[in-house]
Structure 1
């Protein structure tokens, strides 16, 4: 007995010392507890309410046993915020910051600090959602219409959208739009100038292949168009810096009833004739030079402008002017019937988002500088380029004598070429080897006179120059040829001359910020969109110069930090999903869908099954799914769902068998779009494989999978991941995003190409991956700069943290379903009787009983300080609610209380206590102006209208406009600042 007690004492003392030892060497900072909103007591409370003794019992009841991941994810142990930042800083230090004069549409620039701090680093801007609920999105909508106005005025065209993903994909969208508009059904040729940026040519070739479009790359000066041309793309200035007068070429293309797209450097358009003035039908390009960091390739906002007659065909989103219920000007997304969600298999594009945060930065850059400031920046760059050119000629170099804006092209023999490139690298400078014996030098906003002198010294191969800088400047001719010069004004709207002092700009930004509801105000419970916490620590590295000052086409040894980050992120995402390989290139979920289906298509072709073109898609699928399939040259066959929202297995098998010879793929979302774990997912995948197809899984709902199951394990061959959902990259008001794909081993060789040499020189001699689908985005790793956010999230959470986050997301959704079920029917539940990480509540009975639409409830939630859940999707008249794991119990209860209070208001309508027309739900949202008016002809109090809950009395968020008339805005289409004045 004594020995036993001694042994027990020894064990207890050893354990105590071990705990003390571990405590000394473990971090005191636990990020997991900061990311997850519930504490242990709240978790137990909710679990018990739901009828379980612990959370694991709940998870076991909900997720089918045969698909559960049976072990822990093999990920690094979690790091504290401090440790993770230090670790990433060490990785970042491997990147080398050179002065890059590579150009190719990417230039170093200066982001005004007032914009960096007050927009890029401000959660009011980066945590907001896509402006579908326009009444509480007026701030970013105004910022976007400023952006659209900037694009319209600089390009000389009539309308512009709210941005696209990058220049290459914008060019591809222009090609698709031109193809769709062509009335000649035999036309299949798209001409691309050989002087376009090579990365753009690569993206176009990838996009054209499934659509049987023939890309002809040639010199525009010698190209003879035939009747089979439907469109053409020109670079302006050209990739070698030359500025051409394209008027006669445009006329020749128009003579064939084809459209002309011009990829124009936006900054140069302050000096040279805008595309709209020499006949271009479409102008595309990047706004990166307008204060957006290089970021090793992204994210950057691409622009897209065209003529108003094509407003129904323009891809992406447009912000338009309308009015609210009181006649006040109000903004919202215009022409929403054009949205790809709605067009589905009739869509010509799957782009349903934008690069909103980056577009806003670009627009504010123009507001900050104004027309004179933009012109001065452009003139300074051009004049430095002229000085550089003249000095090189003095050094007896042969320089391209075409007119130019910022790029000087030099011809030299191989020995000199090698010496100069070696010297520039020694001096931490990157030039572009345009082709053998030709070097181009593209200057930018950060270039100085000292930089020019240093470049001369490199080319002279000595420090002592045979001339002075003053001598060159005095003899320089800085004027562009008169026929190329811009004569029209730009940035003339008052917005671009109103906020040039920092005081004024800060106040303007704050005014806009106050009009938007973001995650720093309250929960945004959007189903399928997973509005997770975007932790500050995750965001910090985005603005580190080691990451955001790297040109995307620098030699790989200058980006070893990025290389390390990519390798680790690919490895971790592969472990999380079970896939053999990951491609980080797709820079949006839509791009991930397209890339994944393209890989499947290429696989079938490699197997000799070129006839396989049928894509089965459940009727509950995301709207972009059918659009992506069509863009890949596939035909969509819709699969029915049963009354419980699950895929109809019988219908699936019948159609898989019917199209056995042509079956390419099934697109499936898991958990399903109806918010449940379908029990038969493995059977579904097996059916597709049995009939020779591949399974594509839409990763929209990965927040219900991480750590608990893996797509590859249950039968998926490809899956795209929305890093802006599950892995914490912010939505930024509708972008940026990232949509990498994972694939099984048999598909690895078909992944997007990351050969930098191929991007820089499509005709290069280096061996290419002939199996690859090619380039999906303009740069090999897409929106590289924001991948640091997901890296930080995974490092700080670790395996157990990520798994716990998934469990809590499922717990919170079931708690909301439990609290609301007595008021609003839960439309779909799994076989277990529980939902996944989101639930759909059915509001259709309220329409029958009280005339209350789902939109009425969405707008009434604004009065409670909430953004509505996803409405009328995937089922019309419903709300899809997803609380995520980061909300605490009081916030979950506050939302449920709001929904119950709204139900009570509906009940009063049903009982005749409130008028069916004049009531809080039909008149909402209620604005401060409305409440302050002397006249109040409502059968309910002002307090009831605007302070419907205790929280609102302390934390009131005021919608800045009343209910918006969308139909009026579509009938009176205006998408620039000019139109706002007509309503004022």
Structure 2
């Protein structure tokens, strides 16, 4: 370790788990003299980076904090009334401190292991119930990325639900938010859907053969339309009617489900989630029960545990896109779980009366502004509204108003040359209204009389919402705090133990990396403010892009994709556009190894490509002979290869350069999935290996927390020839700032905001700034060391399925549990559930091979924690041995009965042939820090047969 790292503020010492002594002990176990020797035996010499990464010298934690604060203050916080689905809001401090800023909530993994995720699942069920109540539709997901991609998902859903003669046209109202229309254009064009944008009052849906139609409610310029007649027209034409609805407006407006909507989509950002210059935010999609099997994203449902008590789980898990693969109708993998939790808790905290009061306050302020504007002789385009006014004037008047607004540090939306948009929110005060009137020539005062509501009688909501007791009992901070803490205590997170999930890289999300996202200078910026107001963000983006380009070996980066699968999608679209630019639009075949993560083929399908699967050999490597044959067979249509490196099987394939060369020889491009980039940093680079594009999972390698299943970010880095085909910014941004370079981009936006979930990019920027080149390279080496140490310790007990040519694994290893089904009746699920009794989350189950466990320790875990996990796995193997030897029955043993809840072990009736203590306290550390699974093993089949996706009566919940 070099001298500068010895300073106590050096971050690498905090991030990397094993110290020098532990490193030596692990190397001794591996019969190695140095980490470099291990790397030489793991990473092929042909791809090793010949020089250190060219990155700035690392900052200490306090230096980083000060720099981040300084950059946040370079952003100018104007009062933004820009709207378009983004609103400033007030995050209740009890939610900010105890959820958003709490590692007990943001370091959880996706709730695949339901028994140790009951708190988060309940919070997400609250979110679904909130959405179904407010939209008037019976089922909702939890959740999607942003409103624009939710609308695109709804379009794909309508396309997939067609029966009879297939139609190819989708209609979208011209009064939808402009960024929604931009994303729809991108998504429709990729799979050949004809997108028609127009006036719902004038379109003949039957004549154009529409399979679905989308409207905005309220319209993007604030107008309120009664869509009942249009809904009938959509249904008469045989299509699905989709409504993009403002979630807060539905507290006062007739919900979409009551005027004929089949699907409702929107954002829940204004329910307490900071603007963050565009994200992350949770989008919703609600629909009818008959369409649930095609619903994208995740659904939380109610099932039962082994004791017959209600318990929650992710329902219909086989719907997940990694199962559907090339038959997927969506590539959604990351959900915005953490943000959905915040939005749902916002509704819990305020309750129905509070939500209505906020909506009435916003509407009242808007109506007060409208009366004041009319008194000044200013023309309004509409007579009804919720929170947005369209102000009309001459071109000269519009320019004058915009200049006056800027002088008062106010952002107004320029809709066109002769009209402005003004959108108010829950932060708007009477003084703000007076200041706005001053922009239009007022004297700085506002009317004190109560304004008249401007919602037509036919559109006023009469139905109740948020009637469940959960939304009516936690309105004091004391009660809310206890509820949040109760749910937190039902979830296992990184605050309890390592989460050894392969391919998921559950590493330290350092406090100093997380703190800046709460700075007002970062979290109160609207995504469409003029660039001059976001200089701090722009510096972070420039630096982060340059760092990612250097670390991947590419020349250009797009930070827009707001999930890993979105990055896959954007990268494949760039490849398609490149081929098209060369007159080779027919290159639509995408070769994908059989071991690939399911989002790969799903993303390929979404990008309009035809998937061809290539085999893997017995060592888990791509079968080069099969690849050559497939590349030759499809050489005239070959568009791309998607490959993960190191492989999904956890090894550095020796033939990777040859694999890339074969694809290039036959006219294709190489897309490298960056899921395993944590094993490459500082040692090798995708661009040097031969890839043309690579997406980077910032929520894996670069420390954005998983947040219980999201947020995520998936920027793409590309070679020079693909740089012109990176996603461009939404038209709203290009119109406002007239970007000179936007014309060079060939792919439309893939997310609603120009830099995706901008606020969490700060986390990855901070991580790189503090680690530096030497620190990142050291972290990579330790990740490989930790994985090989686990493989060494567990190899005698669980066969390691794949190793590299020199017997080493990369940053993860696959444990084979399949033999135990024959010898002891034990399956991989039994091992996973038994690990809960030891206080651990299971490794990745049955991926990429059914009946196996894929373990990735990351560099953040100390040797002591690795040993604790290994001790647990070895103890479980001894329990299996007792079953094999007949000392425990196959149908009644600690694995089959796991996890053991407190209720189970204190029950007066204990009939199992092993002691209670073995069930509850199988290892010494469990007596010191026991995590009690709140429910027993779930009955998944029952939950799918009886799908319940909203909050049941409170009496049905498990006690406590």
Unaligned runs of 5+ in 1: 1-18
Verify the 8 A CA contact 2:178 2:731 in the aligned structure 1.
Answer: no
State the Cα distance separating 1:754 from its structure 2 match: 2.3
- Cα deviation for residue 128 of structure 1 reads 0.4
- Corresponding residue for 1:745? 720
The equivalent of 2:917 in structure 1 is 943
2:423 to 442, 451, 470: 442
Alignment of 1:556-595 (within 5 A): 556-595=531-570
Residue 768 of structure 1 and its aligned partner are, at CA, apart by 5.1
Query: 1:496 aligned to 2:474?
Result: no
Q: Which residue in the other structure is 1:428 paired with? A: 409
2-side partners of 1:419 and 1:116: how far apart? 39
Instruction: Pick which of 214-223 and 110-119 moved more.
Output: 214-223
Query: In the alignment, which residue of structure 2 is the partner of 1:408?
Result: 389
User: C-alpha separation between the residues in 2 aligned to 1:979 and 1:319?
Assistant: 16
Alignment of 1:816-835 (within 5 A): 816-835=790-809
Quote the Cα distance in structure 1 between the aligned partners of 2:612 and 2:313: 33
**CA 1:983 to 1:92, structure 2 compared with 1: closer, same or farther past 3 Å?**
closer
Q: 1:742 to 1:394 in 2, by over 3 A?
A: same
Contact 1:756 1:780 in 2 (8 A): no
Residues 735/635 of structure 1: CA separation in 2 closer, same or farther (3 Å cut): same
Q: Please give the alpha-carbon distance, in whole angstroms, between the structure 1 residues aligned to 2:887 and 2:185.
A: 64
Aligned to 2:156, the other structure's residue is in SS state helix
Checking the alignment, whether the CA contact within 8 Å between 1:757 and 1:766 is kept in structure 2 is: no
In structure 1, the residue corresponding to 2:148 is in which secondary structure?
Answer: helix
1:345-744 equivalences under 5 Å are: 345-460=326-441, 463=443, 469-470=447-448, 473=449, 476-478=451-453, 480-744=455-719
| Equivalent residue number for residue 771 of structure 2 | 797
Of residues 780, 790, 794, the one that matches 2:754 is 780
Q: Residues of 1 paired with 2:819 and 2:179: CA distance?
A: 53
1:480 is displaced (CA, Å) by: 2.1
Tell me the alpha carbon deviations over residues 595-617 of structure 1, each in whole angstroms, 9 at most, x when there is no partner.
Answer: 01111011111110011110000
Alpha-carbon spacing, 1:688–1:315, altered in 2? closer, same or farther (3 Å):
same
Deviation at 1:400, TM superposition (A): 1.9
Q: Which runs of 5+ in 2 are unaligned?
A: none
Secondary structure of residue in 2 paired with 1:320: strand
Which residue in the other structure is 2:97 paired with? 117
* d(CA) in 2 for partners of 1:625, 1:412: 50
Q: Mark the structure with the bigger radius of gyration.
A: 1
Q: Distance in 1 between matches of 2:832 and 2:528?
A: 46
The answer for the alignment partner of 2:113 in structure 1 is 133
C-alpha deviation, 1:482, in angstroms: 1.1
Partner of 1:15: none
2:185 is aligned to: 205
Match of 1:973 in 2: 947
Alpha-carbon distance between aligned partners in 2 of 1:26 and 1:459, rounded to the nearest angstrom: 61
**What TM-score do you get using the length of structure 2 for normalisation?**
0.98
Which residue is 1:344 aligned to?
A: 325
Quickly say closer, same or farther: Cα 1:983–1:84, change in 2 above 3 A. Answer: closer
Equivalent residue number for residue 844 of structure 1: 818
Does the aligned pair in 2 maintain the 1:602–1:771 contact within 8 Å?
no
Query: Quick one: structure 1 residues 497 and 411, their matched pair in 2 at CA, closer, same or farther if it must change by over 3 Å?
Result: same
Deviation of the 1:187 alpha carbon = 1.1
1:820-899 equivalences in 2 (<5 Å): 820-899=794-873
- Secondary structure of the structure 2 residue equivalent to 1:538: helix
Deviations 1:381-423 (A, max 9, x none): 1011111001101100111233100011111112221121112
2:157–2:329: 8 Å Cα contact kept in structure 1? yes
Aligned counterparts of 1:609 and 1:401: Cα–Cα separation in 2:
49
The Cα shift of 1:186 comes to 4.0
Alignment of structure 1 residues 6-45 onto 2, 5 Å: 28-45=8-25
Tell me the secondary structure at the aligned position of residue 408 of structure 1. Answer: strand
Counterpart contact for 1:329–1:980, Cα < 8 Å: no
Deviation at 1:437, TM superposition (A): 1.0
Cα distance in 2 between the residues matched to 1:314 and 1:343:
13
Tell me how far apart the structure 2 counterparts of residues 759 and 176 of structure 1 sit (CA, whole Å).
27
**Contact in 2 for aligned 1:321/1:979 (Cα 8 Å):** no
CA 1:825 to 1:26, structure 2 compared with 1: closer, same or farther past 3 Å?
closer
| 1:758–1:546 CA distance, 2 compared to 1 (3 A) | closer
- Give the distance between the partners of 1:840 and 1:53, measured in 2 at CA: 25
- Name the SS for the 1:192 alignment partner: strand
Candidates 124, 131, 134, aligned match of 1:154: 134
Q: How far has the Cα of 1:829 moved from its partner?
A: 0.2
Q: Which residue of 2 aligns with 1:7?
A: none
RMSD of aligned C-alpha atoms? 1.6
Question: 1:723, 1:307 → 2: CA distance?
Answer: 35
| Structure 2 CA distance for partners of 1:933 and 1:581, relative to 1, 3 Å | same
Q: Which aligned pairs between 1:68-467 and structure 2 lie closer than 5 A?
A: 68-227=48-207, 228-460=209-441, 463=443
Counterpart CA distance in 1 for 2:637 and 2:416 is 44
Q: CA offsets, 1:676-728, max 9 Å, x none?
A: 00000000000000000000000000000000000000000010000000000
Q: Distance in 1 between matches of 2:805 and 2:532?
A: 54
TM score, norm. by length of structure 1: 0.96
| Counterpart check, 1:961 vs 2:926 | no
Is the contact made by 2:530 and 2:736 (CA closer than 8 Å) also made in structure 1?
no
SS in 2 for 1:922: coil
For residues 440 and 180 of structure 2, the distance between their equivalents in structure 1, rounded to whole angstroms, comes to 30
- The CA deviation string for residues 177-208 of structure 1, in whole angstroms up to 9 with x for no partner, is 00111124441111000000000000000000
Question: Does the CA-based 8 Å contact 2:730-2:753 persist in structure 1?
Answer: no
Whether contact under 8 Å (1:525, 1:881) holds in the other structure is yes
